[in-house]
Structure 1
């Protein structure tokens, strides 16, 4: 019988639990640099039973929608500061991925380019920028990259048939819409030892997309919800529909698949991993409330996160819990 605190394999990694910490924003920088609070947060995560850590967003481009609330791959101190972070997590035998993405496409001197207006030169520039970024991520000691292809990030629009109306080799059928990312993954895999995780939205051709990503070399997937209300509903047994779709994907591919949130108590997580093909569950907001709560689960003092899922840490774009601050 599986347990969320099993020592388990995740591709080439050995994890201390089945819980993946997913990042979002980073509001505690000091003039663009990592603050002592940030270093402490990652240490607390690593030594308190988390299996795998994904960083807060690292923005590919300046003047992006979220760049004021995220780290920058172009920061002069990026490699030096994050090498300290990765060394810290590795001290506790916890692998760490760098979450990399952008929303506003600002390349080749152009601003806010839409998917359908990208030239081949623009596509090559984006791919080249990611390859350079992957080198920096490798030098900083990261174990891998999470490609932000879900939620409202630009790559989510590239692979979405409702957004991508191109009539060249980068639009149309599923293969063409995913081609830009497939080409990128292949180069990164050919030139580095980085684990590549793809965070992707549920959509109509999600299983086909998952298989294409696996075939070209993606090492794991994280399934999340798009903004469409279709995927926020529950099925006939009152289960979150994301669970069923993630279960289907996990049964169709041979790489680890992470459920992108939705569970915050031990019993539900253990039930899920023992009744589906899903072996890993990600969390974000519970770690904002309390980065050490998994240790409390282990010792039995708590069995459910005390996070109220109020979403203020999202809407206010901070990496701190406002409810907890008010209590203190």
Structure 2
């Protein structure tokens, strides 16, 4: 039997196959991050036929201060829940499961977009965009943890099948994880365990809010691919702690390098990261990164590089990609 067609039947999130549509920002939301016809039509089209087992909704801001860009979706207040229900309902009606990704941009935010001064673990320029943020106080860190918790509860109330915490691509939690931007001297800095203290507190707060049975995913930027940045060795330590803390699935991508890495062009170019992380955890691991061919997806799964395959830009460009891929394997 095809590896891609094999169900995922262990754990809290059961899936009919191993194909995932990873979160991809569309900038299609209405004013103030509201869901409108453009977003609903887009996800309706992508989920037609239910060929994709899991659709992860693009990163959505948990607070105005953490908004990354214009057109980004909001999970920042309770008034969004009813509209978000429309989105989860459409995807469920088409036969796929869906998880929502929640995020705080930290120093990747801008005053022009948010109306607030950007914040981060330290007053160190963001390596991707050059913003120098205000250093967060411990009280402000606790407030942000509460905002993640509240956003996760909204995701559950809106009928989604799980929530994904975003710690990749140089956003706030990734800024705490990376030694490039976290030079704190308190308990939220230092070694890997210090740099993931905020993650563990977010995971606990989210778990307390959503209950034991609701799946929690975490997207980890598992390497910055930069001098002095985070490494796969850091991520192996972090991944094990995240599993212990109650994360159900790890979704692996890049850190400050973003979702592409210069010089890496093979399909599944983050596979060395997922393969290493799979050796230290027992929870499923999602691999994305330049996968455009169904045979490449099959090969990566057959070699044990990952448990689930995320196909992003190919599905973004061709809404029939999943249907054609699944049918070619039957």
**TM bin (shorter chain):** 0.7 to 0.9
| Residue 281 (1) aligns with residue 282 (2) | no
How many corresponding residue pairs? 298
Per the normalisation by structure 1, the TM-score is: 0.82
**What is the aligned partner in structure 2 of residue 70 from structure 1?**
72
- Distance in 1, Cα, partners of 2:67 & 2:151: 19
Cα deviation code 1:1-45 (max 9, x no counterpart): 542122323632221321111122233334453233422332333
**What is the aligned partner in structure 2 of residue 60 from structure 1?**
62
- Distance in 1, Cα, partners of 2:238 & 2:89: 34
- Distance in 2, Cα, partners of 1:183 & 1:250: 23
Q: Secondary structure at the match of 1:209?
A: helix
Cα deviation code 1:37-59 (max 9, x no counterpart): 42233233332410111112211
- Distance in 2, Cα, partners of 1:71 & 1:53: 15
| Residue 258 (1) aligns with residue 286 (2) | yes
Following superposition, the deviation at residue 73 of structure 1 comes to 1.5
**What is the aligned partner in structure 2 of residue 299 from structure 1?**
327
**What is the aligned partner in structure 1 of residue 189 from structure 2?**
171
Following superposition, the deviation at residue 295 of structure 1 comes to 0.9
Name stretches of at least 5 consecutive residues in structure 2 with no aligned partner. 110-114, 123-134, 224-230
Q: Is the alpha carbon distance of 1:70 and 1:271 closer, same or farther for their aligned partners in structure 2, counting shifts above 3 Å?
A: same
**What is the aligned partner in structure 2 of residue 85 from structure 1?**
87
**What is the aligned partner in structure 1 of residue 4 from structure 2?**
4
Cα deviation code 1:254-280 (max 9, x no counterpart): 111001222110111111100124121
Which stretch shows the higher mean deviation, 276-285 or 178-187?
Answer: 276-285
Following superposition, the deviation at residue 144 of structure 1 comes to 1.6
- Distance in 2, Cα, partners of 1:28 & 1:48: 22
Q: Is the alpha carbon distance of 1:104 and 1:8 closer, same or farther for their aligned partners in structure 2, counting shifts above 3 Å?
A: closer
| Residue 210 (1) aligns with residue 253 (2) | no
1:198 maps to which of 213, 218, 221: 218
Following superposition, the deviation at residue 135 of structure 1 comes to 1.7
- Distance in 2, Cα, partners of 1:63 & 1:153: 12
Cα deviation code 1:170-229 (max 9, x no counterpart): 110111110111011112213314311111112321111111111111111111123449
Q: Secondary structure at the match of 1:184?
A: helix
User: Mapping of 1:1-328 within 5 angstroms?
Assistant: 2-9=2-9, 11-31=11-31, 32-46=33-47, 47-62=49-64, 64=66, 66-74=68-76, 77-104=79-106, 111-116=117-122, 117-193=135-211, 194-203=214-223, 204=231, 205-228=234-257, 232-234=262-264, 242-300=270-328
- Distance in 1, Cα, partners of 2:40 & 2:268: 35
Following superposition, the deviation at residue 115 of structure 1 comes to 0.8
CA contact (8 A) 2:20 2:53 kept: yes
CA contact (8 A) 1:10 1:256 kept: no
CA contact (8 A) 1:234 1:240 kept: no
Which stretch shows the higher mean deviation, 238-247 or 291-300?
Answer: 238-247
CA contact (8 A) 2:106 2:118 kept: yes
- Distance in 1, Cα, partners of 2:150 & 2:262: 36
- Distance in 1, Cα, partners of 2:7 & 2:186: 46
Following superposition, the deviation at residue 298 of structure 1 comes to 2.9
Q: Is the alpha carbon distance of 1:74 and 1:111 closer, same or farther for their aligned partners in structure 2, counting shifts above 3 Å?
A: same
Q: Is the alpha carbon distance of 1:231 and 1:286 closer, same or farther for their aligned partners in structure 2, counting shifts above 3 Å?
A: closer
Q: Secondary structure at the match of 1:99?
A: strand
